[in-house]
Structure 1
Amino acid sequence: MGAPGTATVPRRGIAGGDSLDFVLLGAAVALVVFGLLAVTSAGSAVGARDFGDPWYYGKRQAVFAALGLGAMAVFARTDYRAFRRYVPALTGIALLGLVLVLVPGIGDVRGGARSWIGFGAFSVQPAEFAKFALIWTYAHLLDRHPDLVRNGSKAALAFGFLALVFALILLEPDLGTGTVLAASVLILFYVAGLSHRVLAVLAALGAALFGLLILAEPYRIRRITAFLDPWQDPLGAGYQTIQSLMAVGPGGVFGVGFGMSRQKFLYLPEPYNDFIFAIVAEELGFLGAMALLALFFVYLWRGVRAALRAPDAFGFYLATGFTSLVFVQVFINVGVVLGLLPVTGITLPFLSAGGSSLGITLAGTGVLLSVSRAARAS
């Protein structure tokens, strides 16, 4: 691995057009196609009810997928080190977006959270962009300041900035996205060499803070109690978990058939979004769900591989960070759908409907492909 900050940036992208990681690319494209089919099916009933068009969510997702694939291509074809000069700008835009979304009249409230900024018929989630920007930010910091994990004052500043971003996201409120971001950054610091003792202290503080945040909001307390026993409030806090399990269970081994879900007909809330994995399990069964998870496993494998083979520390941290974002989200989302974790509102990467999530995931995939190409060309 080369010395941090000494890599030469080619002017016309990375040499070697045949050095693309086609396994990672294939997994990403397969997940996008899987997601388009899943959103089209899962959103058909709601689309027909709300917009008179059962294809509504599928068509919107297709537009987002096209834009996201374009972003992935740009990042994949460009040396990731060429974007390093824009890290301060990315960080500033992320902070500005997190502040603006909290301003009444600018941020849109949906489902009780002020998490979107509207632009005509479309909207963006600043918290999603913040995840993308902060991976660049911390990869840059850990590369340029390798003593960050050993210098107490520097580490305090780094975690202080993370706490600021977490607090802004929490004000929306969006505890789930904040948790994903914090977990991914902690993974970065762990692989950078942060001591186990410091990690244990941070974990204890995080657990205490998480407990206080749950106690501070009655709806979060209800989610925890519903997680422990959803049937104590089957029409309230436990409703989503129960309906999710009622989708997964009947799917059996082979599923009820693509497009034949019953739970998507206004029984399961957000069937095309947070709980889309439940519809996949219902329609395609255990085998279909396992095939989807296998694609995520391939993505994780190639992401870790790209990180380990990165030609410099900056690439290593970038690949680790973007792979961690996907892994943490998949772990939490699937855990919620199966009733193994409390309901958190975390989307499933590549599959859940929404342009911000899909676009950021595909842009991060482009960065992974760029790091992988640099490793092969070096």
Structure 2
Amino acid sequence: MKKKAPYDSIITLTVAALVSIGIIMVFSSSFSHALVQRNDGYYFLKRMLAWTCVGSFAMYFCAKFPYWKWERYANILFFLSIGLLIAVLTPLGTELNFAQRWIFIGPISIMPSEIAKFAVIIYVSTSITRKKDKMQSFVNGVIPYLLIIAVYFALIFFQPDFSTAFVVAVIIMSMVFVGGMKLSHFIGLSLAGAGAISSMIAYFFLTGKTYKASRIIAFLDPWADPTDTGFQVIQSLLALGSGGLFGRGLGRSVQKHFYLPEPQNDFIFAIIGEELGFIGSVVILLLFLVLIWRGIRLAINAPDMLSCLMATGIICMITIQVLINIAVATSSMPVTGMPLPFISYGGNTLAIFMAAAGVLLNISRYVNPDRR
């Protein structure tokens, strides 16, 4: 397949800007925690820089690797991701903060659920491309992917990690929809999924016996228990509110000093709002909007079904995680652990997102230049 265009420079620059902002904000938000907990204020910064190097290599490799060659490795990635998700639930997995989501190999940690996102995009893209003529059939075209959703959802949910399980389900359904499933099937399954999630939330809320129930209650009224279940939400809102229009200034956050747990990760957007203000927060959102816009354009103008589905899955993954992370920080949904793509601390997450951006860059080389 002949190359027709250079890499999409807007995607490259946008990802570079987001990662650069992430490095700065991870250092700013984590210094106090790292100094007290690790006796090294630069602990998270050094690891973030190391993983940025890994992610940059992954992005470069995926940008050079022809997207259609991923088809050869789709089954391997699928079974590898399933195997890792099973392994993390065994004694091979390590439990941290009441969740068993990591496999440690020496100083390196592997988060199978992050690998699963990338693997499922490659596998489902390849699968739909091979059976595109059957996608109108509910039995042959839809049910197989519902079974895949069920397997991934169950394995990730029991870690427990409901938010990531939900993201994987949304990614698969978006790709199946773009792949040609009937609109009536999509609407019916969407309503059924919404009903199932609503029933699950209602069950947790009514029983009130799990940490999920406490998070739902805290979302509805965080001030009912401001020192326990509502603490994170209140501190996040205080951070965002105190930032005002221009922010307190880089490095001058108050809430990062042991008020917000994991300020360099799940609540990094709150620290951005506090230090950089409304203006800084809007800049971050605009960068994500530009990246999502370019990804949608790639999917629309993709040279074939495979590249269209890959771009769809990648952009869906980025979009849904941005929405969830910011919704949690602004108390628009119950608290859940979801990193902000390219910005939050987390080596596996950063490497996977940069690799996915590399796939987008490779696809961009085969789009008709007149349609970019």
Residue 367 of structure 2: SS of its match in structure 1?
A: helix
Structure 2: gaps (5+ residues) = none
Offset at residue 224 of structure 1 (A): 1.2
User: What's the offset of the Cα at 1:32?
Assistant: 0.5
What residue identity is the alignment partner of 1:132? F
In the alignment, the residues of structure 1 paired with residue 214 and residue 283 of structure 2 have an alpha-carbon distance, to the nearest angstrom, of 34
Partners of 1:311 and 1:15 lie apart in 2 by 11
Q: Does 1:171 align with 2:158?
A: yes
4+ long deviations beyond 3 Å: 211-214
CA apart distance, 1:149: 2.9
Question: Which residue of structure 1 lines up, in the alignment, with residue 89 of structure 2?
Answer: 102
CA contact (8 A) 1:309 1:372 kept: no
**Using the alignment, how far apart are the partners of 1:205 and 1:72 within structure 2?**
37
1:181 aligns with one of 154, 168, 183: 168
SS in 2 for 1:375: coil
Q: Does 1:137 align with 2:123?
A: yes
Secondary structure at the aligned position of 2:366 is classed as helix
Equivalent residues of 1:108, 1:117 under 8 A apart: yes
Q: What are the within-5 Å matches in structure 2 for residues 202-281 of structure 1?
A: 202-214=189-201, 215=203, 218-281=210-273
**Corresponding residue of 2:326:** 334
Aligned to 2:108: 122
Partners of 1:277 and 1:289 in 2: CA distance: 8
Q: Give the match for residue 339 of structure 2.
A: 347
Counterpart amino acid of 1:202? L
CA distance in 2, matches of 1:141, 1:88: 9
| 1:329 to partner: Cα distance | 0.3
Whichever residue aligns with residue 365 of structure 1, its letter is A
Cα distance between partner residues in 2 of 1:86 and 1:327 = 26
Q: How many residues align?
A: 364
Equivalent positions of 1:192-203 (< 5 A) are 192-203=179-190
Counterpart residue number, 1:70: 57
Name the structure 2 match of 1:5.
none
SS of the residue corresponding to residue 116 of structure 1 reads strand
Q: For each residue in 1:209-235, what CA deviation from the matched residue of structure 2 results, as whole angstroms up to 9, or x when unmatched?
A: 324544356211111111111111111
Structure 1 counterpart of 2:3, from 12, 15, 18: 15
Measured against aligned partners, the alpha-carbon deviations of 1:139-185 in whole angstroms (never above 9, x if no partner) come to 11111111343112221122111111110001101001011111122
User: 1:108 is paired with a residue of what secondary structure?
Assistant: strand
Over aligned residues, Cα RMSD in angstroms? Answer: 1.5
Structure 1: stretches of 5+ with no match in the other structure: 1-7, 9-13
Q: Kindly provide the amino acid, as one letter, of the partner of residue 126 in structure 2.
A: H
Contact 2:100 2:159 in 1 (8 A): yes
1:374 is aligned to 2:366: yes
- Cα distance in 2 for partners of 1:359, 1:117 equals 16
Alpha-carbon distance in structure 1 between the residues aligned to 2:286 and 2:171: 21
- The structure 2 residue matched to 1:360, chosen from 331, 348, 352, is 352
Contact 1:307–1:371 (CA under 8 A) maintained in structure 2: no
- Opposite residue 85 of structure 1, the aligned amino acid is R
Pair 1:53-2:45 in alignment: no
Alignment correspondent of 1:11: none
Identify the residue that residue 4 of structure 1 maps to in structure 2: none
Work out whether residues 79 and 374 of structure 1, in 8 Å CA contact, stay in contact via their aligned partners in 2: no
Distance 1:200 1:236 in 2: 39
